[in-house]
Structures are given as C-alpha cells and as structure tokens.
C-alpha cells in the first residue's frame, strides 16, 4: 500500500473569481452538509497537483472551510471546457475569459492524473469514471480493477473507512476489498484506494430480487413458504451472518475489547431512545414504558468493540468469492467521535435486521397497484425467515459468544434497544429527506414500542418449515 508524498502539491495562487464560485458549487453537491451556499467560506490551502503532458490543463487541489467543516476539492483548469461537462452541470465552478474551472472527477484525463498523485506514482490506469453520487465522498473507478474514494468532508485525523479497512485487512480478514493506496496529508486521509469488486451485487439488490420473485406468488390465499420461492434468500443471509461474526472477531483483534460497556454508554443509549421516541412518535410514548423499563434493568449489556456502525444490505456486496463489507465511515449524521466509539456488536446485528425489514416493506411499496394488505403476510414470512437465518449464521461463527451480553434475556434486550435506536434514526432521516419512506420506520416503531416485551426479546420468528406446511396450498 503506497502513500502519496506530501510534496506532490505545489502552492498556487487562486483567482478571486474561482473562490467566489466555490460557494455555489458546494451548495449543489450532495456531500456538502449545509443548505444553500455557505455564508462564510475560507480558503485553507491550495496547490497544483499535476499539469497535463500536452499543456492543455492543470489539476488543482484545495481545502476550504465552510460552515465550520473542511471540504476537499479537486479542480480542473482548462482553456476550454469542451465535452467534459456534458451532463455534469453541477460540476461547474467558475469561468474566466481565458480559462474555466470545474470538478476534476468528471474529467477522465484529470482523474488519471489524480491517481498518479494519490498513489505517489505507484498506480496508473488507462480509463477512469466516477461511480454514482455519494454522501461524503466521490468514488472513481480505474480500469475496473481499482476504486479510489476521494474524501470530501475531511475529518480531524484518519478517516474511519480507511483506518478500519486497513486494520481489518492487516488481521487477515478477507471480506474487505484489498487496500491498494492511502493518500494522507498532515495526518488526514485525503483518498483511499482498494480492489474494485467487478461483477459484485450489493445485498439490497439481491434482497429485492428475492422479494419480487416471492411477492409475484401473491394471491388471496395464505402466502407460499419463502423456502419454496425460486428466489429464496435465506442461505445467502446465513452466510452473511457468518461473515458478520468474522468481521466482529477481526474488529476485536484489531482494536481490542472494552469490558465496560455497562454504565454511561448503556444509560446514554436508553436515555436517547426515550427522549427521541417522545419527540418523533409521541403517540407511542406511553406504550413504550414497559420496554424502556426492561432496558433500564439490563444487568450486563456485554463488552464493546469497534463496529461497522452503519450496517445494512447496501453496505455488503456478494461476489463469486463470497460476501464483502463496504464503507466503515458510520452513520454520516452522527458525530465522528460517536461513530468511532466502541459499542456492542449487536448494533451491527440490529442494523442488518432493520435492513431486512426495510427491504420487505420497500418491495411492498413497489407494488402500489396491488393491495398492500394482501402482501403483508408475505412480508412477515420473508422477513422472519431471513432474520432467523442471519442470526443463526452469526451464532454459528465460533467466538462471537464472547462478544455478546452474557445473559440470554439481556441479549434480547440489547438487540431490541439497537433496533429501536436505528428505527428512530431512520424515521428522523426519512422525515427530513424522503417523507414517502417514513412509513417504514414508523410502522417498525409501532411494533417495537408497543408489542409485548417478552415477544420482542424472544427474537426473530421464522415460519414453519415447508415439510410442516400443507402440501396443497403451502400455508404458513
């Protein structure tokens, strides 16, 4: 793994017109945390990264402070924009009479120059392309063999994604894409490159494929058992659970285990759940009383380790070689210190269980032309089977027992606490950004906060096996 030398960036004078254009440019980027152009913007540092061999342009780099956060920019300077901005109007920054500036990641030639700098000359490629739109970074794919994540909102110190991925790989954990380069400056991670998992499919897409196949069998009768569906997902989810356990054991090896999660950490979590529930779902505040009482009575919530922190089906990818884990930055709207703090491994387990619920309900919403109530038994059966498979796979990973709360009842309570915590996080996010999706976490909170506590703590419920089902109509 190569680290680009600091001296590859040479100081450069930045035109005032370019600085004036940065604010509006930031406001158009998803990775910018503010709303609208920043009221104040300060150029922290700027330099020239590279000059194209034919002299047709320069690759510039800058850090700007806007609304209290530092952002990294990579900018192309060319005499003429040409075809580089076609379809990328949001990438334009500023135009001068003799030159123009825009986001360099949309310009393949500039992106290739960026790779050479970021790798200290160790990596070159022939083709480069940006990969979608992301929340806190920009990813570039090179020759379908290497993916480089350019961090946009810069953290103080190492970036969690780069730090955790490199640490896991060093333990021999083989379910992260192999690190190739890490570009740092003044103790900050600017970019991180890994093996590109060509041909992989993320877990969310696989789950929706399974659900669409299963829901296609919907009728007025009771649902077909999920195991009899052509797209049964349970075997894959079980393997995913096994891999998740291996990830947590590698986390414990790389970062150590803290035995003192009982105390401030657990009390703070329960207090946060109570206050957010009263704010987000006040109609459920009274119903949540028995669950909150049970959470406060937990004797030992178990040890704490570094966790993924934002674990869901979109953060895992299935390839021919098995499951891989992606993106260890944690939930972006939580403070960095909180994302880096050791926690219970059940936070990640609960995150994946919530994701299985999300997938089942999202797929119900896709079939708006039908009767959603007709699909609800299918959704419950699919979710129950796959929740059970995931938990079973996790438990079958030897060694995870030592990372869980020692008491079986406390295990259920801690898991439920993190499921509620995640659902509250989801509801706040959806209300702010995707109101049409808010129905999913709201329905989950209705169940989690008002169902009998013993039923919640018992864990996932799987429909009877097909052999126990009526052969004629496969009723659950």
Residue 476 is predicted with a pLDDT of 26
Say if CB 41 and CB 145 are below 8 A apart: no
- The rounded Cα 268 to chain-centroid distance in angstroms is 23
Question: Nearest-CA neighbor of 448 among 234, 297, 281, 238?
Answer: 281
Alpha-carbon span 62 to 39, nearest angstrom: 19
Q: Is 462 helix (H, G, I), strand (E, B) or coil?
A: coil
Alpha-carbon span 168 to 184, nearest angstrom: 19
DSSP letter assigned to residue 258: B
Q: Does domain 201-468 have CATH number 3.20.20.150?
A: no
- Phi-psi category of residue 309: left, alpha or beta, with phi > 0 → left and psi -120 to 50 → alpha: left
One DSSP character per residue, 350-412 reads: HHHHHHHHHHHHHHHHHTTTS-HHHHHHHHHHHHHHHHHHHHHHHHTSTTGGGGS-SSHHHHH
CB proximity list for 469: less than 8 A, separation 6 or greater: 225, 475, 476
**Per-residue 3-state assignment (H helix, E strand, C coil) for 29-74:** CCCCCCCCCCCCEEEEEEEEEEECCCCCEEEEEEEEEECCEEEEEE
Say if CB 359 and CB 208 are below 8 A apart: yes
Residue 148 is predicted with a pLDDT of 97
Going residue by residue through the chain, which has 476 residues, state the pLDDT in tens, using 9 for 90 and above.
444 443 468 999 999 999 999 999 999 998 998 889 999 999 999 999 999 988 889 999 999 999 999 999 999 999 987 778 888 889 999 999 999 999 999 999 999 999 999 999 999 999 999 987 666 799 999 999 999 999 999 988 889 999 999 999 999 999 999 999 999 999 999 999 999 999 899 999 999 999 999 988 776 565 678 888 778 999 999 999 999 999 999 999 999 998 867 677 899 999 999 999 999 999 999 999 999 999 999 999 999 999 999 999 999 999 999 999 999 988 877 788 888 889 999 999 999 999 999 999 999 988 866 677 888 989 999 999 999 999 999 999 999 999 999 988 899 999 999 999 999 999 999 998 899 999 999 999 999 999 999 999 887 666 676 654 443 333 22
Residue 217 is predicted with a pLDDT of 78
Alpha-carbon span 187 to 284, nearest angstrom: 46
Residue 156 is predicted with a pLDDT of 84
Alpha-carbon span 283 to 288, nearest angstrom: 10
Say if CB 362 and CB 215 are below 8 A apart: no
Say if CB 243 and CB 325 are below 8 A apart: yes
Alpha-carbon span 298 to 377, nearest angstrom: 33
Alpha-carbon span 346 to 461, nearest angstrom: 18
Residue 237 to residues 31, 228, 308, 313, 381: CA-CA distances in angstroms?
31, 16, 17, 10, 15
Alpha-carbon span 360 to 356, nearest angstrom: 6
In the chain, domain spans:
6-195, 201-468
Q: Is 322 helix (H, G, I), strand (E, B) or coil?
A: strand
Backbone angles phi, psi at 355, to 5 degrees: -65, -35
Residue 157 is predicted with a pLDDT of 85
Alpha-carbon span 161 to 123, nearest angstrom: 21
- The rounded Cα 25 to chain-centroid distance in angstroms is 25
Question: Nearest-CA neighbor of 246 among 197, 308, 193?
Answer: 308
Count Cβ atoms within 10 A of the Cβ of residue 6 and give its class: 0-12 exposed, 13-18 middle, 19 or more buried.
exposed
Alpha-carbon span 236 to 271, nearest angstrom: 36
Residue 132 is predicted with a pLDDT of 75
Alpha-carbon span 255 to 355, nearest angstrom: 26
Residue 368 is predicted with a pLDDT of 64
In the numeric block, which tokens belong to residue 320?
């021919």
In the numeric block, which tokens belong to residue 314?
């979109």
Read off the pTM: 0.88
Residue 340 is predicted with a pLDDT of 85
């Amino acid at each position: 793994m190569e680290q680009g030398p600091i001296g590859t960036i040479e100081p450069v004078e930045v035109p005032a017109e370019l600085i004036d254009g940065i604010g509006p440019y930031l406001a158009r980027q998803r990775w910018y945390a503010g709303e609208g152009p920043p009221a104040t913007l300060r150029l922290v540092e700027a330099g020239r990264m590279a000059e194209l061999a034919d002299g047709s342009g320069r690759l510039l780099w800058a850090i700007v402070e806007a609304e209290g956060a530092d952002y990294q920019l990579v900018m192309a300077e060319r005499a003429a924009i040409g075809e580089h901005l076609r379809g990328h109007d949001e990438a334009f920054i500023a135009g001068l009479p003799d030159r123009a500036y825009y986001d360099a990641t949309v310009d393949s030639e500039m992106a290739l120059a960026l790779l050479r700098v970021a790798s200290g000359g160790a990596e070159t490629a022939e083709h480069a392309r940006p990969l979608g739109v992301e929340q806190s970074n920009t990813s570039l794919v090179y020759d379908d063999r290497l993916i480089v994540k350019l961090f946009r909102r810069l953290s103080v110190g190492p970036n969690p994604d780069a730090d955790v991925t490199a640490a896991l790989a060093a333990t021999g954990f083989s379910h992260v894409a192999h690190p190739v380069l890490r570009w740092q400056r003044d103790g900050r991670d600017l970019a991180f490159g890994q093996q590109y998992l060509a041909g992989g499919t993320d877990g969310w897409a696989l789950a929706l494929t399974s659900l669409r196949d299963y829901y296609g069998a919907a009728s007025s009768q009771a649902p077909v058992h999920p195991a009899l569906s052509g797209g049964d997902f349970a075997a894959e989810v079980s393997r995913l659970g096994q891999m998740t356990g291996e990830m947590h054991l590698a986390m414990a090896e790389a970062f150590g285990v803290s035995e003192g999660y009982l105390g401030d950490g657990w009390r703070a979590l329960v207090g946060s759940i109570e206050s957010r529930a009263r704010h987000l779902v006040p109609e459920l505040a009274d119903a949540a009383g028995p669950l909150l009482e049970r959470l406060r009575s937990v004797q030992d919530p178990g040890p704490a380790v570094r966790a993924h922190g934002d674990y869901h089906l979109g953060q895992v990818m299935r390839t021919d070689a098995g499951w891989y884990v992606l993106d260890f930055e944690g939930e972006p709207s939580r403070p960095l210190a909180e994302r880096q703090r050791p926690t219970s491994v059940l936070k990640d387990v609960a995150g994946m269980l919530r994701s299985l619920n999300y997938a089942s309900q999202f797929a119900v919403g896709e079939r708006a032309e039908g009767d959603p109530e007709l699909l609800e038994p299918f959704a419950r059966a699919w979710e129950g089977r796959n929740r059970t498979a995931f938990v079973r796979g996790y438990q079958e990973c030897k060694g995870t027992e030592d990372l869980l709360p020692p008491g079986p009842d406390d295990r259920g309570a801690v898991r439920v606490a993190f499921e509620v915590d995640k659902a509250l996080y989801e509801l706040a996010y959806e209300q702010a950004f995707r109101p049409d999706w808010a129905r999913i976490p709201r329905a989950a909170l209705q169940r989690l906060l008002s169902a009998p506590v013993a039923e919640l703590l018992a864990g996932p419920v799987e429909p009877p096996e097909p052999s126990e089902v009526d052969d004629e109509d496969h009723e659950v």
